[in-house]
Amino acid sequence: MTTYLDDHATTPCDPRVVEAMLPHFTGQFANPSSTSHLPGRRAADAVEQAREQVAALLSAPPADVVFTAGATESNNLALYGVARAAAHGSRRRIITLPTEHKAVLEPCRDLGEQGFEVVYAPVDRDGLVVLDALEELLTPETLLVSIQAANSEIGTVQPLDEVAGRVRAAGALLHCDATQAVGRVPLDWRALPIDLLSLSGHKLYGPKGSGALLMRRALRRGGLVPLMRGGGQEGGLRPGTHNVPAIVGLGVAAELMRQEGLEEAARVRAMRDRFEQALRTRLPGARINGHPLRRLPGNSSVTLPGMEADALLLNLPGYALSLGSACNSGALEPSYVLTAIGLSREDADATFRVGLGRFTQQEDLDHLTEDVVTAHDRLRTLAL
């Protein structure tokens, strides 16, 4: 039996979500665009109910929710859509962070090759954007700023209110990849002057293949060009037959997060803190990455100096954990997030990530602490 502790990669689908989805695979299978008959209208109602549920989680108007197949699509729609709409304008600068997800970094790189000026605001050793540096980069030519709400590797939560104020003052648009943060940290669409926000169902205990892009209605009037053309679903911004089971699952997952998220976050944070304290007591050299206070409740990025994290995880076969390194282009390279916050290659290679969540129990972490210490000591002995 494997103990799953990788909730930043994906979360298990909540059984209540699965239960809500199942009828839409069988008896309630109609196309929501077929509103000429009752089954189609019922399917359309299910889509709109899910839209209301997603909107409620973020205190947003339902009309601002555009359903997609996940955060990668949402990020691409936001970045390419805004850039294409402004292709002949004077604003050609795009600002992002070096610690963003690849679903933001790769479109930005491609847009740079297409003639946009892409610049990267620095982050500090905790992964927070350096606000003064960001402000210096905000020129009259700035079109768009894309900054995540929280980082998937080190959990650092960005000061979106301070970022948004600076971006708004510069007359630029702000996109936020909130995939890791939605339901875990407070995000109020009404209060934050964010123009576009991406989220994904499978990070909220919903189904894979579901997601949404929240966008201000003003952008629908020529401010964003869709990636695809087709039947006109989602206001023409995301054509194609709706994936009703996935959309329903996303809606229920969002509703559960709205109802239970704050209590769940407090429980998870307490377990995380106990785990980190116990690990550092047993292994005094252990270091925790990310901001000490502004961090996702279920995130623990641990560096054990002098230890090869991949070897450590091989000695922990009963756990699903994540390495701090990613295999890129066939060669093992250190995590770009960890190097961006100043870790050496050696320390990046000595880092692993624990992702706690809804179904994590304290005993899982107590056992993990013991097993990490045992594996660490065994590898140390073998290295002598």
Contact of 108 with 94, CB cutoff 8 Å: yes
Which residue, among 143, 100, 152, has the nearest Cα to 121 in the 3D structure?
100
Rounded-to-integer distance, Cα 19 and Cα 205, Å = 13
Grouping H, G, I as helix, E, B as strand and the rest as coil, residue 166 is helix
Sign (positive or negative) of CA dihedral 263, 267, 268, 272: positive
Tokens of 15: 């059984």
- Is there a catalytic annotation at residue 327? yes
Rounded-to-integer distance, Cα 211 and Cα 71, Å = 6
Which residue, among 253, 254, 250, has the nearest Cα to 69 in the 3D structure?
250
Q: Which of 13, 108, 176, 327 is flagged as catalytic?
A: 327
**Cβ atoms within 10 Å of 203's Cβ, excluding its own:** 26
| Runs of H (alpha helix) within the chain | 15-21, 38-57, 71-85, 102-113, 131-137, 160-169, 244-282, 309-314, 336-340, 345-349, 362-383
Contact of 223 with 82, CB cutoff 8 Å: yes
- What's the 3-state SS for 67-85? EECCHHHHHHHHHHHHHHH
Sign (positive or negative) of CA dihedral 213, 215, 217, 218: negative
Residues taking part in catalysis:
327
